Amino acid sequence: MLDIFITRKDAAATPVWLVRSGETENWCETHAGPGAAWVTTSGFKGEAGKVLLLPDGSGGLAGVLLGVGDGSDPFVAGALPTVLPMGDFRLAGEKHGDVAKAALGYALGTYRFTRYSGTPREWPRLVLPESVDGEEVSRLARAVFLARDLINTPAGDMSPADLAAAAEKVAAAHEASFRVVEGDALLAENYPMIHAVGRAAGVAPRLIDMRWGRADAPKVTLVGKGVCFDTGGLDLKPSSAMLLMKKDMGGAACVLALAQMLMEAKLDIRLRLLIPAVENSVSGNAFRPGDVLPSRKGITVEIGNTDAEGRLVLADALVEADEEKPDLIIDMATLTGAARTALGPDLPPFYTDDEELASEIAVSSEAMSDPLWRMPLWKPYDGWLESKIADVNHISDGPFAGSITAALFLRRFVEKARSHVHFDIYGWAPKAKPGRPVGGEAQGIRALYHLLQRRYGA
């Protein structure tokens, strides 16, 4: 359990009251004394994320008010850690909502990316009621921290080799088997599109392959886009569009963090993790617009734009995943700007033909307050990927439905798995919220963890 959490029965910790907008007068009426007078003097109105320390009349701390606004943000307690003094605190009263989510919000509020600047610090502790599983909350927080750290690390220190090292560290911690297919070995083992996308970079492309769990358990395979930096290839991105491209391995970061959660929870599954790790760079041997690439599936793919490289490396990895006929394939990728145009940065779309799975994802998304939205695999748009010289073009020739056509392209490479779902995530928080600083962000993994626990948990 994270050292910011303790569980005990006594109430010696300083109380924290959660107050909605417009309810401060009610709170003052039921809590007379110096604290109530200070609430009136301070002008505190219960605004979301606002924290007010209450004096006890003798120089001490009587309690804390946390504004929750309209109550719509279950993680608003993420505003507390940086404001509270050192000590032990507890949520007080009956209107603190979901305590487990409040605890997770508190934990997420302690995240700092300190690899290059700053130092780790100690935090005030939150006393959890016995009804809250502190280890489970800590498991979720550790996974989010892992994904954030990986995404926040600049590409100079998060190359395909570095990403493989990070994955191997997670594998070693859980005694999972680990294998990497690297460089020209990708051609020898028939991963031609992973090789083509990554061959121009100074660090060789590779396919990361991790396995864990008993061999005859239900098979769940995670596939994550690991483009450690994306210049756009020969269809070069403008400089403004390259600024965040260290996050283009966000899909890989998220599936690795999800795998960590699943292994820590010891779910009875046969887990496999596949990450095609590449840098989409520019040199004399870079793949070109108009090239036709072979694929692991045997489908020939015409390249419409080298800046749509993620779906190419995913396709080879998805075929590898599909060959084992798993019960479920989950792929995650920072794939298209079209998804952001449609749904914005906070609401990732997902695509699946499995109606039952879609319903389960929706339930888990709501249960975990982990926003996800189903988008359609609209079959008429599949024709937009036709090629005059190859089996398929990997992009359409128009500006519309880019996220949908990307999902339709990927679907061609999965046939044998019982179910497949594709997530087109952003992997980044562009605006700070309590517990969610600007920077790399894990999206969808808490919902997926909840779903897989419901399916395969004890």
**What's the pLDDT at 96?**
53
C-alpha–C-alpha distance, residues 84 and 255, integer Å: 33
List the beta strands (DSSP E) in 270-419.
270-280, 292-293, 301-302, 328-333, 349-351, 373-374, 392-393
* Contacts for 268 with CB less than 8 Å, ≥ 6 apart: 213, 214, 217, 218, 456, 458
> Concatenated DSSP letters for 141-165?
HHHHHHHHHHHHS-GGG--HHHHHH
3-state secondary structure of 125: strand
60-69, 88-97, 282-291, 381-390: least confident range: 88-97
Task: Look up 433 and say whether it is catalytic.
Answer: no
Query: Of the ranges 7-21, 250-264, 339-353, 380-394, which one carries the lowest mean pLDDT score?
Result: 7-21
Distance CA 102, CA 141 (A): 12
CA distance 50 to 24: 12
User: Mean pLDDT throughout 62-70?
Assistant: 95
pLDDT tens figures, 300-309: 999 999 999 9
Q: How far apart are CA 351 and CA 278, in angstroms?
A: 24
pLDDT of residue 385: 98
| pLDDT digit string, tens, across residues 251-302 | 999 999 999 999 999 999 999 999 999 999 999 999 999 999 999 999 999 9
Nearest to 374 by CA among 383, 365, 385: 365
| Cα distance between residue 63 and residue 43, in whole Å | 17
% of the chain residues with pLDDT over 90: 90
Residue type, position 102, single letter: A
271 bridge partner residues: 212, 220
For β-strands 51-55 and 61-69, DSSP reports them as: antiparallel
Closest C-alpha to 297, from 385, 180, 412, 382: 412
CB 108 within 8 A of CB 435: yes
* C-alpha distance from residue 169 to each of 181, 264, 333 (Å): 17, 14, 22
Cα gap 111→114, rounded to integer Å: 9
The confidence score (pLDDT) of residue 93 equals: 66
Give the orientation angle of helix 310-322 with respect to helix 402-411, to 10 degrees. 30
Confirm whether 311 is a catalytic residue: yes
pLDDT at position 95 over 90 = no
Find, among 148, 130, 217, the residue nearest to 455 by Cα.
217
* Catalytic residue chosen out of the listed positions 101, 219, 272, 311: 311
> Considering 45, 237, 374, 455, which one is annotated as catalytic?
237
pTM above 0.75, yes or no: yes
Q: Which two tokens stand for residue 451?
A: 């779903």
